[in-house]
Amino acid sequence: MALRWTTRSTKARRAAPYAGAALAVTAAALVGARAAGPAGSWYRSLDEPRWQPPPWAFPAVWTPLYASIAWSAGHALGRTRGRERAALAAAYGTNLTLNAGWTWLFFGLRSPAAGTAGCLLLDADTLHLIRRTARHDPAAATALVPYAAWCLFATALSASLARRNG
């Protein structure tokens, strides 16, 4: 009986970083979605570049990106301890805060220029997060590369929308 309890306890300890990361990512996604939801008609009224993805592309891209962020955080946090783990968790938390924040800057304020500034901060922080994560878990860092690429694309799109719409 004790062996069975220990095995379950070990599995729970291994799953905890993934569960915590999934909750944090879900919270960031929901906070960001609250800003984007009511701004749909405003966004559709903007003068968009020809290379603007269709509306369905955003949730189709963000869903696996959020999953990769959660996996990356869970994987990396499961391989660190003590101060290193706390610092890495804080880095992921900061990144998720910036992720949700740029949505509020762009959609909440209805300001492509503010959104671009938020994207630039998110880009810099994401690159920092990849470097920090790579020190502890190269596979987790690699999983963040598509997220960084999409954020850079979002920065270019936001900047284009800011230029085109004053």
Q: Given pLDDT bands bounded at 50, 70 and 90, which one contains residue 39?
A: confident
Q: Where are the domains of the chain?
A: 17-165
Q: Given pLDDT bands bounded at 50, 70 and 90, which one contains residue 36?
A: confident
CATH superfamily of 17-165: TspO/MBR protein (1.20.1260.100)
What percent of the chain has pLDDT above 90?
A: 85
Q: Given pLDDT bands bounded at 50, 70 and 90, which one contains residue 5?
A: low
Write down the pTM of the prediction. 0.90
| 95 contacts 125 by C-beta, under 8 angstroms | yes
> Look-up: residue for tokens 């729970």?
12
Q: Is the pLDDT confidence value at 106 over 80? A: yes
Q: Given pLDDT bands bounded at 50, 70 and 90, which one contains residue 13?
A: confident
Largest CA distance in the chain: 68
Q: Is the dihedral of CA 29, 35, 41, 46 positive or negative?
A: negative
pLDDT, one tens digit per residue, over 128-165 is 999 999 999 999 999 999 999 999 999 999 999 999 99
pLDDT, one tens digit per residue, over 111-124 is 999 999 999 999 99
Residue 110 backbone class (left: φ over 0; alpha: ψ -120 to 50; beta: rest)? left
